[in-house]
Structure 1
Amino acid sequence: MLSACGANQQEPGAAGSTEFKKGGTLTIPVESASLDLDPAKSSNLAITTQSLFNRRLTTWRTEPGKPVVPVPDLATDTGSTTDGGKTWKYTLKPGLKFEDGTPVTAGDVKYGLERSFAPLLSGGFNYHKQFLIGGDSYAGPYDGKHLDSVEAPDDSTLIFKLNQAFGDWPWIVSQPAFAPVPKAKDNPQTYGKTPVATGPYRVADRADGQVVLERNPHWDPKTDSNRTAGPDKVIFKLGVSKETSVQSVIHGSGDGKFSFAGPVPASQLAALTANPNAKSRTLEAGGGSIDQVAINTSKPTLADLRVRQAINLATDKASYLVASGGRNRGSIATTNIPPALEGYEKFDVLPAPETGDVAKAKTLLAEAGHANGLDLVLVHQNSAEVTAQAQALQAGWQRAGIRVTLRSVDRPTYTDITMHQDGSGYDLALSRWQADFPSPYSMLQPSFSSKEIGKGGYNASRLADPTVDAAIDNATRQVDPAAAKAAWANADRLITALAPNVPLINSVNTWIYGAGLANFIVPPFPAYPNYFRISLLP
């Protein structure tokens, strides 16, 4: 992890004094014009927005310079298993309450999880749906049916029965769908406006382009050692562009003194570097996500390994990095597990200079019957930064006779083309993939399992290889950390050798925080600030 921090910073990855006052208002800018707070529909990380008002069975502990670890939240521990990871048991802490003072029960957690299966509440993480027995056919509780693989035998006990051993289950129960929801207060059409809180804050107001959180009087810090709950209020300001929020924090204008912004766009990085005061309030962290080009292996031309290897070798990764903002935006990637995750091993199955090996790429193309080059289509999202990145790739490939037409589309269209359609609309797809929790499973399974092709899956490479599926399955079943690390490293080598994509850079996020913030922590993974530990300076 890189850092560029103020004089009052004590450790890399954290900004501001560890001393703070109770009180004040923290402002968090949001690009979207709306904010749905329903936990069933959320793909929030465990340390961001939802964590302020929705607690789950576990959460994440982030400390400067240390790996993220799962820790108990509503539960007394991170889970126990007696059958090698197929059955997991949790016990709720005593004294847990909703914002209205009613007790939180295991039944509320079970109901909250069940509602995440309802089609009208889609959009959240799907990991639990893949592993809970019966999850593939369950459609939620609104027709009176329940998921038998989630048991709540009493008010404090939860038992989860999985269809296979899964060592990462303690990470899964930190996701928003595991927040308790009281059935009597649930209206699936409106619950996302004012969810019933279990965290230190509750929704107080939604008006004038903002969502205001106030203190939850029934949150007991004795049951929650993770959240500091410093500010009296937290305001999410909606419809604010990253450029605008960065400028506000740089100058401390308006509420910028008690706010933060990021990831900072590449176009504004130079302004931070040139401003000593702003530079002293920036943090850089990363290594848990990868910028990549998926190669559509379902296309006959791209089914040839030699062609995919040629595309990899012809890629000018150095120019891509420049287009992304330079060396402070990441490091050249050669693997599909990034450095911040357990299981990462540094290797390069197609060694080449950072600018590529054009001669070798041409040789491989000729061997594959494409001595005159080939024509491909790359689909990418239509922001200015991504377009510049795509153009840098296009120029690099052109040197080897790989003529690439750029297809710029909005995000919904990109998602439809790569995840839902039959794959005919693109040859290459430019994207960034970040793990949803700090395990290689979250990097490799969604991107390369044959189960994730089409129908909303993320396997844009459309790789369907039995040996890859077997390697992912073997690593998934490992409960012992050392065995899991070795198995995932083996899977990464196998996948990368098949060249279904071009790993470009291990990306880094840059954040700027206001001069009035304390305890602004950005770990290497997920390279996002820990919302529930941010406080204000006295």
Structure 2
Amino acid sequence: MRRPTRLITTAAVAVAAALALSACSGGGSSDDASGTSKGGTLNILTTSTAVHLDPATSQNLNITTLGLVLRRLTAWDVEPGKVAKVVPDLATNTGDSSDGGKTWTYHLKDGLKFQDGTPITTKDIKWGIERSFAPTLTGGLSYHKSLLVGGDSYKGPFDGKTLDSIETPDDKTIVFKLNAAYGDWPWLVSMPAFAPVPDGKGTNTGEYDAKPVASGPYQVQSNTQGSQITLVRNKYWSAKTDSVRTAGPSKVVFKESQDPSTVTQTLIADNGDAKDSFGATYLGAAELNQVRSNPSAQDRLATSKAGPIQYMAINTQKGKLADKQVRQALQYAVDKKSYRIAAGGALAGTYASTLITPGIEGRKDYDLYKTSASGDVDKAKSMLEAAGAEDLKLTLLTQNDSSSLAESQALQAGLKRAGITVTLKPEDSDSFYTDATNGNDYDLVLFSWQPDFPSANANIQPLYDSSQIGGGGYNVSHYKNAEVDSLIEQATGTINRSDAEKLWAQADEKIMEDAPVVPLIYAKQSFLAGSNVENFRIADFPAYPNYLKVSLKQ
């Protein structure tokens, strides 16, 4: 689960912190993929001061930083104009299910090796997953921990204990035993924790975080935290076994702790190394304005169609907000047009009406509260009057950065038109997420969400399942509906993709009938690259460049 931030992390919560990879000069493996320019040093400029390379602690999106160094059982096939698909990576297929979806079996491809030439076996994958349970390794994506039998009490392998629900009958076969049927298991095994770690290695967690053992096309040559990470080619990676990585650059260098404005100015100027660079942080309104004024730079901008959903969550357990009619009135009272202007205008996003984000298979486009982008104040007032809630006084929890404050003020002004008084409660990022996911001292909260994997499951379950209220969960609307919980459970356990998608779409619309949130925009995210950077494209999902395909002109 992730909350979007200005960085590309794998994350979740937080979205993506980007790495810059540097690969050693001189060619790659003898079976490099064709159709992509080979060679050169690609620089990735990131504002991040700490990039975690340990798969047990990473929230990295499958197609970004960590995917250059580490492979997993499955991967993402993402292309502009197409919905995302799960495809085999280390495994021969996306998984064989049995026992009604509670058991999943995978077989490894032939010829897989670590950076030192030793074969990758299923024992290495089992060990890597077991490491993610260790109390000393926290912060990584953890969907699998509650799904694997015995995972709720397992504390990792460092004391010699194993997780029996992961079986490795031979070096090429791995079997997962789940507590319940889970149709999205093929997506989950694309997460960082499912990267192989040499059996018994990585006990020095700090050291492994800096230099994990590579299974992908690049390995870490050097890592100075907060300054630079250099990736060089892993000569034992074979393009014959890898359909998602093209390994174009000879080197990838992550330059960390960069100032966003300086990065934008450097890339706009497009001189020297900047020609071979791109920014890992998506551009804010100020940076976009700089790019707009430079036609050459504008041609080098990659902008997503739609990305993280930004929404105003309504605390369904607070006062008059417990009345569905009041929450529905807020759908008409909000001024989405002013909100989008505050967020940066048309380039900031497209108007949202559903909970499942575009680019995810099975999404249905609908609008239960169809009106102009500015809302329908008269209808909102009428509904509030009918509900006996004409004089609503509400508190809006928001972050205290300039962008969030401007967006919150737009919401505040829009609601005021309908006679609703809103007091802003700005907090720093850490306090904001703590109070939103653990507390109840707010009526409204400005929130955003980037699914961790391309399934409606990752849009719906973390945000609207009643089990995710409090305790750090992301159901910040405190939304409870037994029918929706049942739909989520049914969809989660449905193995047939088409059948599951219908259930997720049904849940989406049922939730919006209850109006626990006001969808605002699907945020567009724009990234800038130098003139020598090729294949710098953003698929329909996720709203980030696919690092695994980027190359340099030769």
Q: Same fold (TM over 0.5)?
A: yes
| Alpha-carbon shift at residue 502 of structure 1 (Å) | 0.7
Shift in CA distance, 95/520, structure 1 to aligned 2, threshold 3 Å: same
Establish whether residue 215 from structure 1 lines up as the match of residue 257 from structure 2: no
The residue aligned with 1:33 is 49
Specify the alignment match of 1:136 in structure 2.
152
Residue 147 of structure 1 corresponds to which residue in structure 2? Answer: 163
Shift of 1:141: 1.6
Match of 1:409 in 2: 427
Local SS of the residue matching 1:78: coil
* 1:254 Cα deviation after fit: 4.8
CA drift of 1:441 comes to 0.3
Give the counterpart of 1:251 among 232, 250, 269: 269
Q: Is contact 1:314-1:358 (8 Å) kept?
A: yes
Tell me how far 1:204 sits from its aligned partner: 0.9
Counterparts of 2:418 and 2:218 in 1: how far apart (Å)? 56
Instruction: Tell me how far 1:306 sits from its aligned partner.
Output: 1.9
Q: Distance in 2 between matches of 1:406 and 1:115?
A: 42
- Tell me the percent identity: 49
Q: Indicate yes or no: 2:223 matched with 1:200.
A: no
Q: 2:291 aligns with which of 272, 291, 297?
A: 272
What's the RMSD between the two structures over aligned residues?
1.7
1:242 aligns to what? 260
Deviation at 1:339, TM superposition (A): 2.4
- Structure-2 residue corresponding to 1:228: 246
For residue 20 of structure 1, report the CA deviation from its aligned partner: 4.6
Cα separation, 2, equivalents of 1:366 and 1:524: 42
Map Cα deviations across residues 346-393 of structure 1 (whole Å, 9 max, x no partner): 22222222111112222222233322x222111122222221111111
Q: What's the counterpart of residue 371 of structure 2?
A: 352
Partner Cα separation in structure 1 for residue 119 and residue 368 of structure 2: 55
Q: Which residue of 2 aligns with 1:307?
A: 326
The one-letter amino acid of 1:206's match is N
1:387 aligns with 2:391: no
Pairwise CA distance, 1:498: 0.6
**Structure 1 position 47, deviation (Å):** 0.4
Please tell me whether residue 103 in structure 1 is matched to residue 119 in structure 2: yes
CA contact (8 A) 1:248 1:254 kept: no
Conserved? CA contact 2:451–2:459, under 8 Å: yes
1:249-307 deviation per Cα after TM superposition (whole angstroms, max 9, x unaligned): 11113532111124211222233223211111112213343110111122233211122
Distance (Å, rounded) in 1 between the aligned partners of 2:536 and 2:120: 30
CA drift of 1:22 comes to 2.3
- Aligned letter for 2:545? P
Q: Which letter does structure 2 place at the counterpart of 1:475? A: A
Q: Which moved more, 1:447-456 or 1:243-252?
A: 243-252
1:418 aligns with 2:436: yes
Match among 426, 429, 433 for residue 445 of structure 2: 429
Match of 2:380 in 1: 361
CA deviations over 1:152-174 (Å, ceiling 9, x no partner): 11111111112222221111111
Of 357-366 and 408-417, the range deviating more from structure 2: 357-366
Offset, 1:531: 0.6
| Counterpart check, 1:191 vs 2:191 | no
1:491: which partner in 2? 507
Aligned residues: 518
Q: How many Å apart are 1:500 and its aligned residue?
A: 0.6
Of stretches 507-516 and 238-247 in structure 1, the one that deviates more from structure 2 is 238-247
Q: Give 1:188 shift.
A: 2.3
TM-score (normalizing by structure 2): 0.90
Contact 2:302–2:536 at 8 Å: present in 1 too? no
The answer to whether the Cα contact below 8 Å between 2:84 and 2:360 also exists between their aligned partners in 1 is no
> How far does residue 41 in structure 1 lie from its aligned partner after superposition?
0.9
One-letter identity of the residue aligned with 1:229: A
Residue 82 of structure 1 deviates from its aligned partner by 3.0
> What do the CA deviations read for 1:218-247 (whole angstroms, capped 9, x no partner)?
222222232111112111111113332222
The answer as to 2:355 corresponding to 1:328 is no
Rounded to whole Å, the distance in 1 between the matches of 2:332 and 2:366 is: 15
Tell which deviates more after alignment, 152-161 or 218-227: 218-227
Q: Distance in 1 between matches of 2:357 and 2:373?
A: 17
Cα deviation code 1:26-79 (max 9, x no counterpart): 111121212121111111111000001111001112233222211111111111
Partner of 1:173: 189
The separation in 2 between residues aligned to 1:520 and 1:269, in whole angstroms, is: 18
Q: Which residue of 1 aligns with 2:396?
A: 378
AA aligned to 1:266 is A
CA offsets per residue over residues 87-108 of structure 1, 9 Å max, x none? 1110111221111222211011
Check whether the contact 2:80–2:537 (CA below 8 A) recurs between aligned residues. yes
| C-alpha distance in structure 2 between counterparts of 1:198 and 1:381, whole Å | 39
Residues 148 and 430 (structure 1), Cα distance of their counterparts in 2 relative to 1, 3 Å cut: same
Q: Write out aligned runs for 1:43-122 (5 A).
A: 43-122=59-138
Residue aligning to 2:498 = 482
Distance (whole Å) between structure 2 residues aligned to residue 268 and residue 52 of structure 1: 27
Summarize deviations over 1:181-236 as a string: whole Å, max 9, x none: 12432122432111111111111112371111111122222222321111121111
Alignment gaps of 5+ in structure 2: 1-33
Query: After the TM superposition, which of the residue ranges 287-296 and 445-454 deviates more from structure 2?
Result: 287-296
CA distance in 1, matches of 2:406, 2:247: 41
5+ residue gaps, structure 1, are 1-17
Displacement of 1:326: 1.4
Task: Note the C-alpha offset of 1:19.
Answer: 5.7
After the TM superposition, list the runs of 4 or more consecutive aligned residues in structure 1 that deviate by more than 6 angstroms: none
- How far apart are 1:451 and its partner, in Å? 1.3
Greater shift, 264-273 or 436-445, is seen at 264-273
Q: Over residues 130-150 of structure 1, what are the superposed CA-to-partner deviations in whole Å (9 max), with x where a residue is unaligned?
A: 321222222222232221211
In the aligned structure 2, how far is the partner of 1:285 from the partner of 1:210?
A: 27
Which secondary structure does the structure 2 equivalent of 1:165 belong to? coil
Q: Give, as a single letter, the amino acid of the residue that structure 1 aligns with 2:221.
A: A
Once residues 476 and 287 of structure 2 are traced to their aligned partners in structure 1, the CA distance between those partners, rounded to angstroms, is 30
Report if aligned partners of 2:82, 2:359 keep a CA contact under 8 Å in 1. no
* Structure 2 residue 362 is the aligned partner of structure 1 residue 343: yes
